[in-house]
Amino acid sequence: QLQLQESGPGLVKPSETLSLTCTVSGGSFSSSNYYWAWIRQPPGQGLEWIGSIYYSGGTNYNPSLKSRVTISVDTSKNQFSLKLNSVTAADTAVYYCARQAWDGGHSYPFDYWGQGALVTVSS
Amino acid sequence: EIVMTQSPATLSVSPGERATLSCRASQSVSSKLAWYQQKPGQAPRLLIYGASTRATGIPARFSGSGSGTEFTLTISSLQSEDFAVYYCQHYNNWPPSITFGQGTRLEIK
């Protein structure tokens, strides 16, 4: 059974960089059939896609966050990571990592999710 | 940018009754539409993809329909565990991008 687990600091100061890592276990990480994504959810609000990365390192970002986001992958550790710089209180959210299937140019929705990690931006 | 709009924001339905949730896209998304269920403190769970295909393990009382810009999620006979927030999502082929609706809260009447 595929499992995803987010890890990283739960508290980040304003103007600093938020960093999270997602560790994938129980399945094929370095496969051409998947993108790996970050999604966030502010308290009491809806879901926002942050961006996705292919196992080879190709990335796609939400245009509204693109200037502040970097997603990277480490296939040797079955991990992918999120960095969001210049954070403000508006970046306080539960951050999820998830898997998105990709099949010959056709995308699919997120079928596996991590449990989520709450990150609070506060001094 | 495609905008996904869900209605109503809150839907009150009695157990055993049918619930119908709507999702509208600002432009055609073909059938690249998914529905998720989210309960408090949990990650979203994929219910429907391709507008009408149930994901693995999803009960038959959940059904999806529509194409283009208008989509519907129907829960035929509500069970207690179905009361939750539901999100629709467009997932684009190229460039790969994702857009969520703002959610519909399904509550017990």
Segment A7-29, tens digit of pLDDT: 999 999 999 999 999 999 998 88
SS3 B31: coil
- How close does chain B come to A80, measured CA to CA in Å? 18
Do A114 and B43 make contact, defined as CB atoms within 8 angstroms? yes
Cβ-based contacts of B84 with chain A (< 8 Å): none
What confidence score (pLDDT) does residue B14 get? 96
Of the residues A47, A52, A55, A60, the best mutation for testing chain B's interface (the one with the most B CB atoms within 10 Å of its CB) is: A47
Is the Cβ of B103 closer than 8 Å to some Cβ of chain A? yes
Do B92 and A107 make contact, defined as CB atoms within 8 angstroms? yes
Of B51, B54, B46, give the one whose Cα is nearest residue B67. B51
List residues of A whose CB lies inside 8 A of any B CB: 35, 37, 39, 46-49, 52, 60, 62-63, 96, 98, 100, 102, 105-111, 113-116
Cβ-based contacts of B46 with chain A (< 8 Å): 109-111
Mean pLDDT of B85-93: 94
pLDDT digits (tens, 9 = 90+) for A25-44: 998 888 888 999 999 999 99
Size of interface A-B (CB pairs under 8 A): 64
Percent of all residues in chain B with a pLDDT value above 70, rounded to a whole number: 100
What confidence score (pLDDT) does residue A28 get? 84
Mean pLDDT of B94-98: 81
What confidence score (pLDDT) does residue A104 get? 77
Do A108 and B101 make contact, defined as CB atoms within 8 angstroms? no
Of the residues B5, B98, B104, the best mutation for testing chain A's interface (the one with the most A CB atoms within 10 Å of its CB) is: B98
Cα–Cα distance for residue pair A67/A62, rounded to 1 Å: 9
Is the Cβ of B104 closer than 8 Å to some Cβ of chain A? no
Strand order in A79-84's β-sheet? A3-7, A18-25, A79-84, A69-74
Length of chain A: 123
Cβ-based contacts of B104 with chain A (< 8 Å): none
Strands B4-7 and A69-74 come out as: unpaired
pLDDT digits (tens, 9 = 90+) for A43-87: 999 999 999 999 889 999 999 999 999 999 999 999 999 999 999
What confidence score (pLDDT) does residue A96 get? 98
pLDDT higher than threshold 80 for residue B96: no
Of B97, B104, B95, B83, give the one whose Cα is nearest residue B24. B104
